Amino acid sequence: MTRGGGGEAFGQVQRRLAADVDAALKRRPAAEAKLAGALRAVAPHCAALRASLAEALEVLVRRSSFDRQLYAGVIRALVEASDKRCSPLLRAALATDEAGGLAAISAACFSREPALATPLARAASGRHAHLAFAAEVARLARGESAGAHLGTIAPKIKESHRIALCVELFLPLTRAPALPAAVAGALAVLRDAERHLGRWLVLGQVAACAGDQQPLAEARTRSGIGPTSSRAAWSLVAWALDPSAAPPATRPTAELVARLSDRPSSDRDTTFLFRLADARAPAARGMLESLVRGLPLTDEVAVRAARSLARDYGRDDLRGALSELAADPHREELRGLAAAALWDIGERPLAIQIAEDLCGSRALGTQVWSALVKNAVSRPDGDVLSEARFRRVQWGWVE
């Protein structure tokens, strides 16, 4: 199946998601974040679903529902798929007093639609510093500004707005083409005010991709001074900014990994651990092993750890643990994730068989993973269980 073509793999989940979106427009659901994340995972591959999302976005923009997770998921999904129906709606959102919120401005960074230039320029001169800053970044990303205005706005950003900018604007930009070098000075101002290491890293990554060597130099300097725990954290930050270097010997811990996440430390997010695991860092093995010590596998993080250990660290015994979980009807919420992990470790016939059995699952996440595994048959080179998909489908993070 080609990108954007829809097709049999997504037929059942597409119909369910379209119905769930329609219901969500009538009454906000408790699990709206999970719905939004599922939309982000499926929409790039399913034209029929994008048609439903375009209709939903028209309603959300008309209502100015810019604070809803559904809105953020829909507008990002449509722009990511370069869906033409999104352009006039995105322009309408940007033209409001709230400039459509950070989700719309972030989406504009990835659009080359010329009609967005005027509302973005208006937003960049608005009275809300964080929205003006975000709009100027979008203009810089689109080649419509030299970025000189950023330096005057950056010192005015409040802490709460800086956090929002990091997660909603700059985190998506770490997966995008590099911004022009003019962004470096403003990012330095934001980093100087940032006390959370994971958010500092996001800002540093965007700056480093833009050609700024200062974040890496600062991380390397800090990895050699201060308390041992601080040096360990900064050594990992330095490696993340220059992943061409060998991973450091620093052993990750739950506390250290949480500090290096772009999420609040209280979320205990393990994203950085799996960044190390994907690089086959020897030091990551100990923490990965601790996550699967008590078999059977009991949660989504343990499933990811089993996948990494089986694929990259020689733990072939965990293939059986993943197979057992994927076949366990009492763990419906994890079966699709296990099937995706099986696909990634090379157990593809089994993964496809399980995915077929799960295509009508009552658990939305499981049904989505099932469709993604089935879709991978025609595109067998990439991982199904990618970091972005995991965050969206399992945890409802729609950045």
CA dihedral of residues 19, 25, 27, 29 (deg, nearest 10): 60
C-alpha pair distances (Å), 155 with each of 10, 104, 133, 179: 46, 23, 10, 20
Phi and psi at 81, nearest 5°, equal -85, 5
CA distance 106 to 168: 7
Is residue 101 within 8 A of residue 67, CB to CB? The reply is: yes
So what's the pLDDT on residue 7?
A: 56
CA angle 336, 172, 65 (to 5 degrees): 85
So what's the pLDDT on residue 292?
A: 97
Going by C-alpha positions, the residue among 257, 318, 255, 321 that lies closest to residue 284 is 257
So what's the pLDDT on residue 3?
A: 39
In DSSP notation, 44-64 reads GG-HHHHHHHHHHHHHHHHTT
**pLDDT tens series, the chain, 399 aa:** 333 334 567 999 999 999 999 999 999 999 999 999 999 999 999 999 999 999 999 999 999 999 999 999 999 999 999 999 999 999 999 999 999 999 999 999 999 999 999 999 999 999 999 999 999 999 999 999 999 899 999 999 999 999 999 999 999 999 999 999 999 999 999 999 999 999 999 999 999 999 999 999 999 999 999 888 899 999 999 999 998 889 989 999 999 999 999 999 889 999 999 999 999 999 999 999 999 998 899 999 999 999 999 999 999 999 999 999 999 999 999 999 999 999 999 999 999 999 999 999 999 999 999 999 999 998 777 899 999 999 999 999 998
CA distance 372 to 322: 17
Is residue 221 within 8 A of residue 213, CB to CB? The reply is: no
Q: Is the peptide bond before 296 cis (omega within 30 degrees of 0)?
A: yes
CA distance 372 to 369: 5
Residue 267 DSSP label: G
Residue 246 DSSP label: P
Give the pTM.
Answer: 0.93
So what's the pLDDT on residue 6?
A: 41
So what's the pLDDT on residue 208?
A: 97
Q: What is the CA radius of gyration of the chain?
A: 21
So what's the pLDDT on residue 294?
A: 83
Q: Which residues lie below 8 Å from residue 148, measured CB to CB, with a gap of 6+?
A: 182
